[in-house]
Amino acid sequence: MAFRKDFMWGAASASYQLEGGYKEDGKGLNIWDVYTNCCSASEKRFVRYNETGNEACDHYHRYKEDIALMKEMGIKNYRFSISWTRILPDGTGKVNEAGIRFYSDLVDELLRNGITPLVTLFHWDYPYKLHQRGGWMNPDSSDWFAEYTGIVVDALSDRVKYWMTLNEPQVFIGLGYFAGNHAPFLRMHSCDIAQMTHNVLLAHGKAVKVIRERAKLKPTVGFAFATAVYDPADESPEAVEAARKKSFDFDRWNFIFTPGWWADPIFFGKYNERGYELFGEDMPEIKDGDMEIISQPVDFYGVNLYDSRANRSAEGYPENCYTGIPRTSLDWPVTPQTLYWSPKFLYERYGVPVMVTENGLANNDWVSLDGRVHDTQRQDFTHRYLRELKRAADEGVDILGYFHWSVMDNFEWNEGYDKRFGLVYIDYRTQERVIKDSAFWYKEVMETNGENL
């Protein structure tokens, strides 16, 4: 079967990671703005080298140049996120018309260049004013998100068809409030985390409802979760079934990072029974109608995939790993098979098409003496992963598209700017852009719909 004829090839980005302009034109502050700028020399660094996203890639001012580069690279679909505080500086209330205008102009420029926009409503840059009111712990937090969603949908849905509600709640909750590695850099009890996830799921459900009720073009709606599965030790039926079971199971420590905790309520209208076994009275407070809201129908399962969960461990070597396994510059194992097993298991369990909303390589790229960026490792990495995705498609897994992370080098959260994921190299001193070799290779993949893999 290979890839469907209308397969969506593209690239992705996130507002805080590339826009810059963090105080311009009425934009309010988000938690990353505040906590990356408030460190003194004597305080613990939240981000390597105390770097910030204040300027980042200066995409706020250079978006037309960047879209021209996307066109040159043959990108037909672009997934980007909206900065909540560029639209609502305080998170709720007064709308910032300059922020609406920026994203409206961005969408228009994409369409002029033959690029389909896909909007992600939230990619981690939570409004600081709402954080001061309890953030995701506040029972009103889902209504705040619904209000924001309505404003964006009213402004853009006459031209935008594809919508994603939330990017990786597993990470912005798990690393932001549980492990303390991402903004707001907190470490909270698992029972509080469980309640926060319920509020986040309500925010997702209410946003889906708002999109469907108010969109001017018929919308295609999903999310972008971080839920790779466990790949089996081999392809025997016993090993495959063991990996499938483990992929959707969880314990009280890792529940926050698993699809069984997050996706089951959306697709089945109830929490996984394992949650009740583990949490008992610490389960989230579920009010009448909550599960109906959370389980609003979605059109696809968006998933960001980098490596298999079977290769992650805090101590020693986990299953399916081995001494000397290839690793990216972020020390993530290179496991191409995750683009086969993850779509396969997710499609089997939830029954909706899968979209790979992120996949890419953190690398230490630089401009060579000939003025080009020869990132052969990224090309090889992507080639290996896409062959596994094609294998899944060949076997009947319904895959809507693939989005390379990222369209350009950018601010990589607590890692700062050293780790480069982009198809375009950014010199952060001058903001010069250089299209990397991998982008020209990827252009051929997109043009042939993956037949050259």
Residues 6 or more apart whose CB falls under 8 angstroms from that of 34 comprise 128, 183
Among residues 19, 51, 358, 388, which one is catalytic?
A: 358
Q: Does 43 participate in catalysis according to the annotation?
A: no
Among residues 19, 168, 388, 412, which one is catalytic?
A: 168
Q: Does 168 participate in catalysis according to the annotation?
A: yes
Whether residue 28 contacts residue 92, with contact meaning beta carbons closer than 8 Å, is answered with no
Q: Catalytic residue numbers?
A: 168, 358
